[in-house]
Structure formats: structure tokens, C-alpha cells
Structure 1
Amino acid sequence: MNIFSNYDLKNTTLKNRIVMPPMCMYSADTDGKANEFHYTHYITRAIGGVGFIIVEASGITENGRISDNDLGIWNDYHIEGLKNIVDGVKKYGSKIAIQLNHAGRKYTGNFSEAVAPSKIGFDEASLLPRELTMNDIKQIITKFKEAAQRADKAGFDAIEIHGAHGYLIHQFLSPLSNLRTDEYGGNVKNRTKFLKEILHAIKEVWPENKAISLRVSSDDYTAGGITLDDMVEIINEVKKYIDIVHVSTGGLVPAKIAVYPGYQVNYSNEIRKKCNIPTIAVGLITDLNMGEEIISNKRADLVAIGRELLRNPYLVLNEAREKHVEIDYPKQYLRSFN
């Protein structure tokens, strides 16, 4: 099966095409440090045979988290706990990345105010964010750069920049949330400037041999918002800075979304073809037969399976046994798979 084949992501070889996408666990203390739960959570999926694990969205600032119980990467004291996870995951043959995020107006904690490109709340129940100044923007770009340096010190094989699901980068990209009249607002090129400057800054410090993934929402599902054609234009603006696109949709504003198994795969397919860049498909992909179809029909290069890996950490091992695929089972469990 093609989904069990190796894949070279930059200079890192993944043992299969299966990804555990970043999923917030809301399990850190307010200091944002990784703890025993995070270690157990991620190492279990490595033992379970997942090829590529992406650690949940981690705040590049305190108010860059989604909640006060999210992981952080804004301080050097976060490195030790993250490094423990990295070392454990690699011990069992998986590769690992971390998603760097600033939640923008979707920050819901108590440490500081929420900020955004424009003074527009997520919905009527949300507090109005403060509009970022030019100096604020420069500081946040620096914070992304510093977070990438910490990720490298922790030993991650790759990083993922969170430009999706209504968080700060997505807020800049969409005309629904970005009403700025300066160089960071207006046409698609201007709205992409913030993302491009973040990626440029990160490239200055991130090792050339390690990959950079970009998570995107390729449809706002709302009139006047980002469409697939817009996202193709955005990715073509920044693709020289990235190695793969993790293709999602939605999250910017409340919207009705027709959700069904694989509902986002076509977005991955179109971006892969039109931007000539590798992609990760995600979105209610619940079994490896679905994943095999996606990989074999070249609709994506990697397949992210989220909820099913929460339910079944040993999905990969069990599917390999059922499908008679030869893989390296953990030696401690080998007698149960023979």
C-alpha cells in the first residue's frame, strides 16, 4: 500500500505517509509548559507507528495561545519539556514537528488583551480586539522567529506555521477580518505581506535541511472571504519559503459547513496541482483505505488522521496487521502482531 511507503520531507525521511495533525489538548498549566500528559500522548502515537507527528498549536506569546491551557513556546523555559517529547517520539521511529501559532482575536485567556489586524471581533459574543500597530506587527514577526529558534533547540524535525482556522495569520489573509488601509491590507498581495515577512524571518534562523509546513484555510465559507482561487494566489506568493501545505478550511467566522468524510481533500488536490507543491490532506479522514485512495490518486502527499488517532493510538499497527503489510512493529508488542 502506498500509504505505508516512505516519504522524503526535505531532508527528513518519514517511514509512512500518515500524519497526526496538531490537536489542542488544553492540558498545560498557565505557564504553557509541556507536562506528563503531553509526553504520554505524543509518545503513544509514536509507538503506534505514526510516521509524522505535529505537536499542537503552541503560542509564540502568552496571548498568542488559544487558551491559557495551551502549550507555549514564547520562553526558553519551554524548551526542556518539548525536547523530552521530541526525544521520546524519535526513539520510536517517528518524526516530529510543532505548530507555531498566534491566536490573534481568538485568544480567550486572562493574561492580556486580544489583538488583530483590525478592530473586529470573531462574533457578537467576543470582545473587540485591539488593532495592531506597525510596531506590534514587527514584534510579533520577531516572536515567530524566536519561537522557530526554540523549536530547533528542542530538536524538532520540522515546524508548521498556523495560517488557518481564524487565528492571527488567517485574520490578516482574509478581507473579512483585515480592513487595514496600510501596506498590510487591501489586495491579496498586501494581505499576504504579514505571512511572507514571518516566513522570511523564520528562514533566517531555521536550518535549511529542515522542512517548513504552512497550515491554511482555503475557504472561509462566507461571501467576500477567502476562496480556493485566493488561496492558490496566496500560496504562490509564499511557496519559495515553505516545503508543504497542510490544507484545511474554515474557522475565520461562524459559518455553515457541509462536513462529510474527506470534505477538504479536493482543496488539497487543487492546491497541489495549481501551486506545484506537496500537500497534507486533512478533514474527517478516518481510516487508511481513505488515505490510500488519496495518496494513490495523488490528491495529497501525506494524510492527516486526527480524531481516529485519538480513539485508537495503534491504528497504524492494527491496519498493517489486518492488511498484511510488513512494518517494524515495536519489539515489545511483536508477539501480538505475528
Structure 2
Amino acid sequence: MDSTLFSPLTLRSLTLRNRLWVSPLCQYSSNQQDGVPTDWHLVHLGSFARGGAGLVMAEATAVVPEGRITPRDTGIWNDEQVSAWRRVTDFIHSQGAAAAIQLAHAGRKASAYPEFGTLLGGYTGSGTAPVDRGGWIPEAPSAIAFEPYVTPVAVSATRIQELIQAFADGARRSVEAGFDLVEIHAAHGYLIHQFLSPLSNERDDEFGGTLENRARFLLDIVRAVRAAVPETPMLVRFSATDYTEGGWNEDDTATVAHWALEAGADLFDISSGGLVRAPIPVGPGYQVPLAAHVRTQGEVPVNAVGLITTAEQAEQILRDGHADAIMMGREFMRDPHAPLRFARELGVEFAESDDIWPPQYVRAKI
């Protein structure tokens, strides 16, 4: 079969072997609370590369310690982390996949308890982890809480410039660590999304008010990252809607995505929600129409994500022109070899030089 899903895609000088990619998946598994990836990350991410993914993206990785979602998140703010990530990227490359990292700052949703287990010295809880349990005071564009989290401190103009530089430094360290692509996390209610949405940004300076001003933080980050890593492909992940009247929406996303393309980004990863507590109409491919809207109205390349679980579904999304690539999260966790299975189900035949099957697994083709 002539498959769009298993055709290559080139971003700048990087050619990805197919269009079936791994979404960033938070693991909360940096054991020493120092942001250093562990053997878990090597096996977790390496399994997806072995399974045939075109792009394997590491989880939301903080550019400053205060940007972690939880004290157990990974980071990219120092050289120890760079060295540990290099072990992961080397293995991903050995399996023929490209390695990506999501650069992140959680803003008012930072310093949270991890989702699972007694991972904070035996403590469990919900909302913000206090300082005596490994947490810190979060920062945000405005002092507006995400309940039941504590009220954050509004960042100063000086701190905004420091954070823009931190994203640029994180991108540079990512390339040193062997990552082929970086993604700026502007979704799911984290710091950049908080600047974008009028529901969480009440600033009266050049970073608040109009859409142009609310987008300034993101666009300054995109320009700074592009200057730091001129040849590295850059994605931006957006939540295309807050699912709340008066909030950020798909038209805003399309407009700002086009601005970000002009500022140096290459492709847009379209998700949704996370800024405020609102009902989300979840179902198979529920975010695909959002990706298609941003692609058409913003005149930008996008990938689609959100309960995409079958080979036929993924192939059809691309053939219908709704997206340029597919990201999956839960389906990859259920089956790290989903690309091998999808290729078999679609009847894709690979040239020997392009085969995504590891030689150790070739006998399973039949």
C-alpha cells in the first residue's frame, strides 16, 4: 500500500522516516528530584524508537527548576541533565528514529504533587506541594490561582526576560544532548498558555491585554530559540481552545500560529484544554477538527493528536488533509510497537534501507 502515514516528512534539514510520532508523556520519574532522566526514561523512550516511531518526544522538560510540574519532573537547565539525556538520544538514534524534547514551564500549575505513588518522601496529596514537602511558590503572568493550587506570584518584567533566555538556553542544551528537534510547550494551562489566554492573563503592560500583547511572550521565546539553535526544527504545542466562553480559542490559535511561523517555528502540535476546569467533549479523534482549523485558517503545517488509536484512522486523517503528521500517546503506552503493527495492517512494504523493523524482530512480520 502507498501510505501517507509511512511517508517521510522533512523539517529544515531533518527528515523523519514517517509521520507517526510519540507525544510527550509526563513520567514524574526523576528519582532524586534533580531533573536528571533515569534508566526508566531510557527504556520508556527507547522502546518507542525500537517500535518504529518516526519521532520520539521526551516529556515536558523544565527550562528552570521552578518550571517543573512536580519535583519529580525532568529538566534541561544544567550540564548533568545534558549528559544523562545524551544516553537516551544515542539509543533513539541507533534505532533510526529522531529525538525531540518538549521545553516547558508549568507556571501556576507548577510544584504539584506527582500523579501517582508516594513519591515525595512518603507524602501524597493534591494541588500544590508545600515547601517542606519538596515544593515551591509557583509563578505566573498574573496572581490568579488554578484551584486547588496556591495563588502564584506574578512575574516581573525582568523575570519575563530571564525566562525567555531560559527557553533559549534549554534549546541550546537540548541540541548538545543530541535532540534533533525542540518543541515549545504553549498548551495545557502551563506558563505560555497562561500568557496567551485572557482568563489567566490580566497584565496591563506589553505582555497583557490585546492578542498581540498576550502572544508576545511566546513569540519572543520562538525568536530567542531560533537564534540559539538556527538549524534545529521547532514545534509549538498549542491548546487550541479553553472550552470556555471568553477564553483562548481556535481562531486565536490559528492567528498566533501564523505569527509564530513567521518568527521561526516550523510545525504546530494541536491539543486542547487544561487552562481552566471545563467539560471537554472527548471521543475518537476529538481534537482533529481543531488541528484542521488551525492548518487551514493559519496556513501552517500541523500534527493531530487525541484518541487516535488505529492505523486506518491515522492514515485517513492525513489523506483527508486535516494534518501533516500524527502524534499518539496512550496508544504508544499500550503498544510501543504500534508503528510496526500499523505498517503490517496497512500492508506497507519497506525497502531494505528504509525498513522500520529492527532486524531482531523481522521474523514477526509474518
User: TM-score scaled to structure 1, two decimals?
Assistant: 0.97
1:21 maps onto 2:27 in alignment: no
Q: Which residue of 1 aligns with 2:203?
A: 180
Using the TM superposition, give the Cα deviation of residue 223 of structure 1 relative to its aligned residue in structure 2, in angstroms: 1.2
1:101 maps onto 2:88 in alignment: no
Q: Partners of 1:216 and 1:90 in 2: how far apart?
A: 27
Which range is displaced more, 107-116 or 138-147?
107-116
**Contact 2:238 / 2:269 at 8 angstroms: preserved in 1?**
yes
Deviation sequence 1:247-288 (CA, Å, 0-9, x none): 011000000111001111011111111222110100111112
Q: Partners of 1:159 and 1:219 in 2: how far apart?
A: 23
Where structure 2 has 5 or more consecutive residues not aligned to the other structure, the ranges are 113-128
Q: Which residue of 1 aligns with 2:239?
A: 217
**Contact 1:189 / 1:237 at 8 angstroms: preserved in 2?**
no
Q: Following superposition of structure 1 onto structure 2, how do residues 199-278 of structure 1 map, counting pairs within 5 Å?
A: 199-208=222-231, 210-240=232-262, 241-278=264-301
1:152 maps onto 2:175 in alignment: yes
Q: Partners of 1:78 and 1:119 in 2: how far apart?
A: 31
* Residue number among 65, 68, 80 corresponding to 1:77 in the alignment: 80
Q: Following superposition of structure 1 onto structure 2, how do residues 101-140 of structure 1 map, counting pairs within 5 Å?
A: 101-107=104-110, 108=112, 109=129, 110-123=134-147, 125-140=148-163
Q: Partners of 1:269 and 1:330 in 2: how far apart?
A: 34
Q: Partners of 2:345 and 2:227 in 1: how far apart?
A: 46
Where structure 1 has 5 or more consecutive residues not aligned to the other structure, the ranges are none
**Contact 2:140 / 2:153 at 8 angstroms: preserved in 1?**
yes
Change (3 A) 1:224 1:49: same
Q: Partners of 1:5 and 1:260 in 2: how far apart?
A: 27
1:330 maps onto 2:330 in alignment: no
Q: Partners of 1:237 and 1:50 in 2: how far apart?
A: 30
Deviation sequence 1:207-261 (CA, Å, 0-9, x none): 32x2100000110001110111111122222222200000011000000111001
Using the TM superposition, give the Cα deviation of residue 19 of structure 1 relative to its aligned residue in structure 2, in angstroms: 0.7
Percent identical among aligned pairs is: 41
Q: Partners of 1:255 and 1:76 in 2: how far apart?
A: 39
**Contact 1:63 / 1:111 at 8 angstroms: preserved in 2?**
no
Q: Partners of 1:333 and 1:50 in 2: how far apart?
A: 15
Q: Partners of 1:34 and 1:147 in 2: how far apart?
A: 15
Using the TM superposition, give the Cα deviation of residue 111 of structure 1 relative to its aligned residue in structure 2, in angstroms: 4.1
**Contact 1:220 / 1:250 at 8 angstroms: preserved in 2?**
yes
Aligned residues: 336
Q: Which residue of 1 aligns with 2:126?
A: none
Q: Partners of 1:325 and 1:305 in 2: how far apart?
A: 19
SS class of match (1:216): strand
Using the TM superposition, give the Cα deviation of residue 201 of structure 1 relative to its aligned residue in structure 2, in angstroms: 1.1
Moved over 3 A (4+): none
SS class of match (1:220): coil
SS class of match (1:204): helix
1:8 maps onto 2:10 in alignment: yes
Q: Partners of 1:56 and 1:288 in 2: how far apart?
A: 24
Q: Partners of 2:73 and 2:289 in 1: how far apart?
A: 31
AA matched with 2:270:
V
Using the TM superposition, give the Cα deviation of residue 324 of structure 1 relative to its aligned residue in structure 2, in angstroms: 2.4
**Contact 1:62 / 1:111 at 8 angstroms: preserved in 2?**
no
SS class of match (1:4): coil
